[in-house]
Amino acid sequence: MVIVILAEKEKQAEAYATALGQFSKKKGVYVIRQPLYFPAEVHVVAAEGHLFEYSEPDNWSLDKLPLTNVSFKQHLKEDKNSREKFKRIYDEVVAADQVIIGTDADREGERIAYSILSHIPGGKEKIWKRLWASSMTKKTLQKAFQELKEPSETYNYYLEAEARAQSDWLVGMNLSPLATIDLQARGQLPRTKGSHLSVGRVQTPAVRLVCENDLEIRNFTPEKYWKLQLEDKKNGVFFTTKDKTKDSEAILASSRGLSTTSVISSVEIENHQKSAPQLFTLSALQSFAASAWKFDSDKTESIVEGLYLEGFLSYPRPDSEYINQFEFNDLKENLSAYQKAINCHFQSAFLEPREDYVNDEKVSGTSHSALIPTERIPNLSNLKTDQRLIYEAVVKQAILMFADDCYYSTKTIEVENNGLVFKTKGRTLHKLGWAEWSSRKVRGPVEVPDYQVGDKIDTQVQIVGGETKPPKRLTESQLIGQIFPKYGLGTQATRGEIIKKFKVRVMLLKIKNRSTNSHQ
C-alpha cells in the first residue's frame, strides 16, 4: 500500500518528508518507507503552483461576444517544467492507493490540488485526507499529520476559488476585447500587436480609484484662506481655531474686535493607555514594508513565502489579526529567544492572553492566524538583508504584545476672547512601554504652562494665511493597507499581484511609496 502526499512546492515536499522520518529521494519523489503516523509507505511529490489553466479564445471578435456558453476546460501549461511536474504526479497518483492533499492550506492551494487530480484517472476518488498546517516547522507538521482533516471540510474552498477564477475569466474575456476593439475603433488605442486594454473584476475598480485620485489632484485649484490665532505673550504658546474664511476683509474686522487679554475658559486632562499594534496580516505587513523600505507588495509577499517555506514564519497569507491560545503559549515560551534574536530586551508586562491579540473563535477550523514567527529561529546573519528586515518586523510585532502599554495624557486648553474660542493642546508621555521598541512613530511630548480656568493672559492676535492643498497621491502602502480592504478588493494573496499588474501593463506609471502614516 502506498499513500501519496501532493505538495504545492518542492520545499514543502521536503519539509513533509522530514517530518515523517527517514526518507530517500528518487526522480523527484520523496519516499518514506517507515513513516511516522502511517501504516503504509508514503511518497511525497510536488507541483509548482498552477500546472493547468483555462484556454483562451482563438481571436477577438465582437461577433463572438458575449461568451456565456463556456465549458471552462483546463489544459496543461505548455512549458517543459509544468509537463515534467505533472507526469511525475500522474505516475505517482495512478500507482497510489490513497492521496493526501498537502498543497497550501488556503483556497488557491485547494484549487491547485483539484485541478491536477481532476486530470488523472481516479485521482479525485483516491483523495483520503487533507493536510492543514499553519507553518512548515517539524513540530507543527507532525501535529498536523496527527490531525488530518476530512476532504469535505475544505472542499468548499476549492469551489470558492474555482467560482472566483471562472468569474474572473468571464469578465476578462468578455470585457477586455470589447473595450479594446471599441477604443481602437475610436482611435484611442493603437492597433499594434500586443496593444490591448485589460479589464478585470478587481483590477479595473482598483485602477478607477487611483485614476479618480489622480484627476482630483490634476483638477484641484488652490484657494487662499485666513484664520485667527492668539499668542500668549509671556509663554509663547499659540491658541488656534479651525474656523477659516476666504474673506480677507472679514478676518481683518474680526481681528480688530479682539481684546489684548484672553481668559482661560476650559482645561481638560485625558489619560490614555494604548496597547501595542495588532499582529500582522499579509496586507498590513505589505503596507508597513512599502512605507518603511519602499518594498513592492509582491516583493514582500515573496520574502514572507520564502521565510515560511524555511520554517521561520507561519502561514504567509493570513487575513486575521488574531492567534489562538496554543500559538500564544508557543510565543510566550520562546519570548526570550525572540528578544535575543532581534535585540529587543523589554520587561514583560502581559503574560496572559489579551482579547486584542488572542481569540480562538476567530481562528478556529480552517481559518489562519496572524503572521507570527515559529519556534524555529534563524541565524539572522545568514539571512539576506531584505529577509532580515521582514523577519525582524514580524517578530517585533508579535512579541510587543507582551510589553507594557504606552501611557500618556493630553491636556486641552481653551481661551475665550470676545466670544471667540481658541484651543491649544499639550501632551505628556508617562511611560513609553512598547512604543520605546517600536519602529512606528509616536508623537513626542508637547509642554504647556499650568493654566487654570479663569486665568487672564496677555495675548496678541495674528492673522495666519494659507492655501488649500490638493489630495495626497495614493501610495502603494495606502492601497494595500487601507483602500483595498475598505472596498473589499482582492484578497491577502492577490493584492500584491494586482499592484504588479498595474505596473507591468503601464496602467500606473508609478505608485510612490511614501510613508504618510504615524502610529497613535
Quick check: 517 pLDDT over 50? no
Lowest-pLDDT range of 220-234, 423-437, 487-501: 487-501
Q: Do domains 2-161 and 282-402 have the same CATH topology?
A: no
Radius of gyration, CA atoms only, the chain: 30
pTM of the full structure = 0.91
Instruction: Give per-residue burial for 112-147: e unless 16+ CB within 10 Å, then b.
Output: bbbbbbebbeebbebbebbbbbbbbbbebbbebbee
Q: What is the structure's pLDDT at 58?
A: 72
Q: Express as a percent the part of the chain with pLDDT over 70.
A: 96
For 347-404, write each residue's pLDDT tens digit: 999 999 999 999 999 998 767 999 999 999 999 999 999 999 999 999 999 999 999 9
Q: Which CATH number fits domain 282-402: 1.10.290.10, 3.30.390.30, 1.10.1740.10, 1.25.40.10?
A: 1.10.290.10
For 236-291, write each residue's pLDDT tens digit: 999 999 999 999 999 999 999 999 999 999 999 999 999 999 999 999 999 999 99
Quick check: 323 pLDDT over 90? yes
Mean pLDDT over residues 456-483, rounded? 94
Mean pLDDT over residues 324-329, rounded? 96
At the second CATH level, the architecture of 223-275+405-468 is Distorted Sandwich (2.70)
> Which sequence spans correspond to the domains of the chain?
2-161, 204-222+474-509, 223-275+405-468, 282-402
Q: Give CB contacts under 8 A, 24+ apart, made by 171-177.
A: 171/199, 171/200, 171/201, 172/198, 172/199, 172/200, 172/201, 173/56, 173/57, 173/67, 174/65, 174/66, 174/67, 175/199, 175/204, 177/57, 177/60, 177/61, 177/62, 177/65
Q: Which CATH number fits domain 2-161: 3.40.50.140, 3.90.1150.170, 3.40.50.1100, 3.90.740.10?
A: 3.40.50.140
Quick check: 487 pLDDT over 80? yes
Mean pLDDT over residues 150-161, rounded? 97
Q: What is the structure's pLDDT at 192?
A: 85
Phi, psi of 13 (to 5 degrees): -60, -45
What is the rounded CA–CA span in Å between residue 380 and residue 387?
A: 9
Going by the DSSP 8-state scheme, the letter that residue 489 receives in this structure is: -
| Average pLDDT over all residues of the chain | 94
Confidence bin at 514 (pLDDT 50/70/90): very low
Q: Three-state DSSP class for 220? A: coil
Reduced to 3 DSSP states, what percent helix, strand and coil does the chain have, rounded to the nearest 5? 40, 20, 40
